[in-house]
Amino acid sequence: MTGLPQGVCNIRDAVATGEASAVEICQGYLNRIQTVDKSLNAFNQIEYDTALERATAIDRERVPNDSRLLLGVPIAIKDNICTRGIRTTGSSRILESWIPPYDATVIERLQNAGAIVIGKTNCDEFAMGSSNENSAFGPVRNPWNLERSPGGSSGGSAVAVATEMAAASLGSDTGGSVRQPAALCGVVGLKPTYGRVSRYGLLAFASSLDQIGPLTRTVTDAARMLAVIAGPDSSDSTTSDKPIPNYLKGLTGKLDDLRIGVPRKILAEGVDDKVLQAFDEALETLSSLGVKIREIELPHAQYAIPTYYLIATAEASSNLARYDGVRYTSRVDLEPKVASLSLMYEKTRAQGFGAEVKRRIMLGTYVLSAGYYDAYYLKAQQVRTLIKSDYDTAFNEVDSILMPTSPTPAFPLKKRAHDPLEMYLADVFTVSANLAGLPAISVPCGFTSDRLPIGLQCIGRPFDEESLLRLAHGYEQATTWWTETPPI
Amino acid sequence: MRTKKPGNYVANFEDHTLASAMPSILTKEDVDRVAELARLELTESEREMFIRQLTDILVYAQQVCELDTTGVVPTTHVLTNQGTLRPDEPRPSLSRKDALANAPDPDTEKGFFRVPKVIK
């Protein structure tokens, strides 16, 4: 990629001023994909032709002082976000050949801002997983160490950005699926407040937790992506009409009015030593920038994982009922003699879904079933209220809450795949932000001795992405972790 | 043909306390019943695997029951001001052709999704 501008803001400015053409930039990224993706498997679909056609059109139509925020920026899209005319599979066999007849709202907004969809990225099937091993199209590999997981479920989106196969990407975050792979791959990942970004056109996993967010190399790029995709949408009634601040102008570098809280008690166990060390060093850096740090309590934090898995699987079992062999491409055909509607459903779903998706559908169906609803689902929704009120209380005293994004760096592929519960525990620091609807960001904050990236997570007040981005940006500018690139 | 109606197996649920409604071990019958509700055909090895794994997960999840949640309002909308309304005016929507385009067995002439025969 020598000589070409990199990153969302640089590319956009170069294309807008005519310093570089959208076509040469797009071609550069496509070449990069062709060179390295064979060993990474980050893409389910690469849009060679349509991306270049679009780049050509952008160069042709460009006007002086073009104000579009993502002009000519090649962006990779997680394969659970609908793209009209481009195969969208959710990395599931059951949608292997599904071509959406419409664009997700975020895609429309990216296109209107001049972005170029360069391809669809691999992920855990229907975004269910923390390792990207649950994809029907094979795992994505971590570019820092090919034998390790990139994290999940937006593993392909994180790898695409980390290895310069896309200037930025979109992922979806239901329990950490943007932030955790961002941390494990050494990039920035932002989960916006629930309701800040439209979910219309996102393959629904757990509707009360899902949120689409950007993965980028820098916080500035994340701010620009959010500026484009945020805002109310008449096709998603859970979007908020709260005003959207100028996220880019908010990146002032001034942090000395910010107070952050550290829930020290929940870091006492199960956190990798090097992760904890990097986290403490990050706190020192922030302190030197004038940030005031204090310890806080999140008394119900230990219940976050069970609460999350009860609610998320319940909602998933309901959302995935639509894949029944009637409307979405795949169907198992039966001999007319034995054919029945219910047998067709059962066989189609048995063949179309992978093991983790089946497991979650089973668990969710169980906790919603007659007799167990109150004991599990209702109870979990009550505990969710308690978890959220812990955060409300903490935010009376602090502006942001910090903890590691993931308790460990990237783990070896296959290591956790045999034990679903062990895999679920990896989400211990990320699920709370989804349960409480809060915005959260992961930024690179160090490396292990064998060069695996570590992520710092900042959680903010609802709809205060502005302060969150300002904090993350101030930290980023005081460090150089984000400038490191993987050896591929 | 299956004759068991979903829900029969817990007909006497009200007689139990909440704690006893949460079995520490799932039985084969539980798993079969849930698979039926979920419209999933399981292989024998999947059934064995799910009995074990779902039991593990449920035992772990039962720690939420340690908590006294008397009087705690369950979360329905995580943030306030959710559920925005818009005027109930017709807008363009998917054409019938587009809606049927991905169907495995569409009747494009009449505009139907075709399914195996339901009525004998």
Instruction: Residue A384: list chain B partners with CB under 8 A.
Output: 74-75, 78
Question: Which amino acids of A are annotated catalytic?
Answer: 78, 153, 177
Q: Is pLDDT at A59 greater than 80 in this prediction?
A: yes
**CATH fold of B8-68, please?**
Histone, subunit A (1.10.20)
pLDDT tens for residues A395-413?
A: 999 999 999 999 999 999 9
pLDDT given for residue B24 in this prediction: 57
Which of A238, A300, A381 shows the shortest C-beta gap to B74?
A381
Whole domain around residue A91: which residue ranges? 8-258
Q: Which residue has the higher pLDDT, A118 or B83?
A: A118
Percent of chain A whose pLDDT exceeds 70: 100
Tell me whether residues A421 and B60 touch, CB distance under 8 A. yes
pLDDT above 90 covers a percentage of chain A that reads 91
- Measured in angstroms, the CA of B109 and the nearest CA of chain A are apart by 16
How does pLDDT run across A129-141, given as a tens digit for each residue? 999 999 999 999 9
**What's the CA gap between A35 and A56, in Å, rounded?**
23
Contact A382 B102 (CB under 8 A): no
Q: Which residues of A274-286 are buried (b: 16+ CB within 10 A; e: fewer)?
A: bbeebbeebbebb
| Overall average pLDDT of the A84-104 stretch | 97
Residue A263 lies in a domain: no
Q: Are the beta carbons of A359 and B54 separated by less than 8 Å?
A: yes
Give A470→chain B minimum CA distance, Å.
Answer: 23
Number of independent structural domains in chain A: 1
What pLDDT was estimated at residue B120? 66
In the block, tokens 């704690």 appear at B19
Compare A358 and B117 and report the one with higher pLDDT: A358
Q: How crowded is the C-beta side of A78, counted as CA atoms within 13 Å?
A: 33
Find the helix or strand (DSSP H, E) in which A258 lies: none
The predicted structure's pLDDT at residue A393: 98
Of B61, B63, B105, the CB nearest to A331: B105
Contacts of A307 in chain B (CB under 8 A): 64
Separation of alpha carbons A316 and A393, rounded Å: 30
Spatial CB neighbours of B97, under 8 Å, sequence gap ≥ 6:
B108
Rounded to whole angstroms, the Cα distance separating A134 from A416 reads: 12
DSSP one-letter code for A88: -
Q: Is residue A320 part of a domain?
A: no
Task: Give the one of B38, B72, B118 whose C-beta lies nearest to A362's C-beta.
Answer: B38
pTM over 0.90: yes
Is residue A240 a part of any domain in this protein?
yes
pLDDT at A389 over 50: yes
Asked whether residue A171 is domain-assigned, the answer is yes
| Whether pLDDT at B69 is above 50 | yes
Task: Answer yes or no: do B84 and A241 touch at CB < 8 A.
Answer: yes
**Cα-based distances in Å from A176 to A5, A213, A481, B72:** 30, 11, 21, 26
| Rounded Cα–Cα distance for residues A360 and A332 (Å) | 22
CATH number at residue A19: 3.90.1300.10
Domain definitions of chain B by residue range: 8-68
A-B interface: how many C-beta pairs under 8 angstroms? 194
CA-based angle A156:A162:A166, to the nearest 5? 70
User: What ipTM was predicted for this assembly?
Assistant: 0.91
For the cut 50, the answer to whether the pLDDT of residue B2 exceeds it is no
pLDDT in tens, A242-264: 999 999 999 999 999 999 999 99
What is the per-residue pLDDT for B65? Answer: 85
Q: Is residue A140 in a domain? A: yes
Min Cα distance B60 → chain A (Å) is 7
